[in-house]
Amino acid sequence: MRKKAFALTFILTVLISAIPGAFIVKLAQANPYMYHEFVSPPAGSTPLVISVAAPKNIAIYNVNDIALTFNISTQGTSMNYLLGAYYKADWMSDNVTVYKQNTYSPEFPEFWEYSETLRNIPDGGHSIVITAWGGGFYAEGLTAYNFDMTTISVINFTIDATPPKVSILSPENKTYDLSDVPLDFNVSESSSIIRYSIDGQDNSTLNGNTTLTGLPIGRHSLTVYAWDSAGNLGVSETVVFNVAKPEPELLPTATVALASAGVAMVVAAGLLVYFKKRKRGLAAV
């Protein structure tokens, strides 16, 4: 009832300031308060409360369209009233008015809710500042005291709708003669999860560059996956490579030649000894 009485008083005050002459006297007689003063909010006065349901503060979203949902409450006290509300997003050039009280209406809402979808928000860190303004009223004797109050709520969040870029440096599309092949890769941004799949098998988690060990001989395929903190998935190109059986190692030509020369020298020395012994035997006869 006090809120309705104040609303009526507020309307009458506006009308009084706009209507001259004898009408002022009649309206003043109908007004239950003879005096009106604007003062600072008294001790214990309760400001308007802004409650934001979305977006969540300090949240990360992987889409460019998100909901903006909030409500404004006078907390059920007859001393407060809502006059207007607007929000300002950092990627927008102007304020967006979402509520404006009709000062000629005898009803002032105690609870008001707003919701819309904000579209095409660019990637990056963002803030939305919601402002609600109104006032309060109390009376002492024949004097009505009015005061202004403003409440501000700031929501910070991040839009990250771009998946990370993943590139494989090793292995390459070629043949390896070892069963242990290094796996080296790059990810364009910090990632919460990195996994790889070889030959279509289940993913294995990576903490960084590693070595693929014990690969069987044959053809292999490798893909690396990375998830960023917003949940975006980046996928590398699929690299195809081969592991072949190592060829037997051939002795260098110089080594073979030296070995052959050594054998020849040994054979020659043996023959020389043989003939010397034979010659001595014949001489003794």
CA dihedral 33→34→37→42, nearest 10 degrees, is -40
Contacts by residues 86-95 (CB-CB < 8 Å, ≥ 24 positions apart): 86/130, 86/131, 87/128, 87/129, 87/130, 87/131, 88/128, 88/129, 88/131, 89/118, 89/121, 89/126, 89/127, 89/128, 90/126, 90/127, 90/128, 91/121, 91/122, 91/126
CATH of 2-159, one of 3.10.100.10, 3.40.50.1580, 2.40.50.140, 2.60.40.10: 2.60.40.10
* The pLDDT of residue 144: 86
Query: Rounded to 5 degrees, what are φ and ψ at 161?
Result: -105, 10
Per-residue pLDDT tens listing for the chain (285 residues): 445 444 445 444 444 344 333 333 333 444 577 888 888 888 877 889 999 999 999 999 999 999 999 999 988 666 678 999 999 999 999 999 999 998 777 788 889 999 999 999 999 999 999 999 988 878 888 888 888 889 999 999 999 999 999 999 999 999 999 999 999 999 999 999 999 999 999 989 999 999 999 999 999 999 999 999 999 999 999 999 999 987 666 555 555 555 566 655 655 556 555 556 555 554 555
Task: Report the topology of domain 166-243.
Answer: Immunoglobulin-like (2.60.40)
* The pLDDT of residue 182: 97
Q: Do domains 2-159 and 166-243 have the same CATH topology?
A: yes
Residue-range domain boundaries for the chain: 2-159, 166-243
* The pLDDT of residue 173: 97
* The pLDDT of residue 120: 97
